[in-house]
Amino acid sequence: MMASMTIRESFPVRTLFRWLAWLLVAAIAYVTLSPIAMRPVTAAPADLERFLAYAAMGLAFCVGYPRHRASILVLVIAITGLLEFGQHLVPGRHGRMHDAVLKAAGAFLGIAAAAVVDRRRQAG
């Protein structure tokens, strides 16, 4: 009986992505607002890290909340702006317009990717 259930029936995919989206917001906020010495360092360029983090967040929100794409776009732009502004309140950190635009573009790409996948899934 269990073997015949689909993944969608046996596991709440939307719930998983909702949790993932909010966990990404928390992780991004922590990394963005913590002192620079606490920022994780990878081999990737910082701009790529920022772009991909926000793309993952936009994608996760759209999979978790598929009927609210316009609201999600407003939300991720607001999160971007608030976190960039918040950096001015942290000693040694600074928010920059370049970073905000890059992060918003990443979020937009994630949202767009989710929309494309959803449309293809519905068409097929």
pLDDT tens, position by position, 90-116: 988 888 999 999 999 999 999 999 999
pLDDT band at 11 (very low <50, low <70, confident <90, very high): low
pLDDT of residue 8 exceeding 70? no
The answer to whether residue 6 scores a pLDDT higher than 50 is no
So where are the chain's domains? Answer: 2-123
Alpha carbon distance 122, 124 (integer Å): 6
Q: Tell me, what's the pLDDT at 120?
A: 84
d(CA 124, CA 121): 5
Contacts 24+ apart (CB under 8 A), 82-89: 83/28, 83/29, 83/32, 83/33, 84/32, 86/32, 86/33, 87/32, 87/33, 89/33
